[in-house]
Each structure stands twice: as structure tokens, then as C-alpha cells.
Amino acid sequence: MKGTVIDVRINKGNAVQSFMFESEGRRSMGGIMENTSFWILVAIMQPLLYFISLEYFGQIVAIAIPWSILILFLIWMWASGKNPFASDEEE
């Protein structure tokens, strides 16, 4: 990885450097989440995950797993500031 110094500051006599790494051949999580083929893969894997869970864990867990994935995804969207349900108007 190549490192480029983007910020140097002095904190109590110690020099602190922040590095931004250029990844060669790797993509960021944001780039993957905006990729259409990733969402097609998720759409294909969702029924497979359901039927495998149904076979091994039963109906309750087979329903709980996709819902928990959806809830965690919405929490991740909210935490990253990409809330799709936010309105732009102020009250």
C-alpha cells in the first residue's frame, strides 16, 4: 500500500501523522454497496438463506434471520448518515 501524508499536527510534543492509503485492486464498502451486481447477489442469496435456515433451524429462526439482516442494514444506514427515510423539511 502506498501512504500519503494528508495531515500533520503536533500534540503535546508528539508529531501525529494521518495516512490515506490507496488500495490497489480493493474497493471500499461504500463502492460495493452502490454496485448493482452486489444487490443482485443479495437478492439471489436471500431465498437460499431462508430455505437453508428453514431446513436446519425451523420457521421462527428462518424468518428472524432476514429480518435481523434488514434491521442491521437500516441501523448501518442511519449510523452512516444515509437515512433514506429522512425528510428535508424542518419543523
Q: What is the pLDDT of residues 53-81, one digit of tens each?
A: 888 888 888 888 888 888 888 888 888 87
Q: What is the mean pLDDT of residues 3-15?
A: 52
pLDDT digits (tens, 9 = 90+) for 24-54: 455 565 566 667 787 788 788 888 888 888 8
Run of H or E residues at 71: helix 59-79
Residue 6: the pLDDT is 52
Residue 73 within any structural domain of the chain: yes
Instruction: Please give the Cα distance from 48 to 75 (Å, whole number).
Output: 24
Confirm whether 91 is domain-assigned.
Answer: no
3-state secondary structure of 86: coil
88 inside domain? no
pLDDT of residue 73: 82
Q: What is the mean pLDDT of residues 6-35?
A: 54
Domain count for the chain, please give it.
1
Structural contact between residues 2 and 22, judged by C-beta atoms closer than 8 angstroms: yes
CB 23 within 8 A of CB 37: no
User: Is residue 11 situated within a structural domain?
Assistant: yes
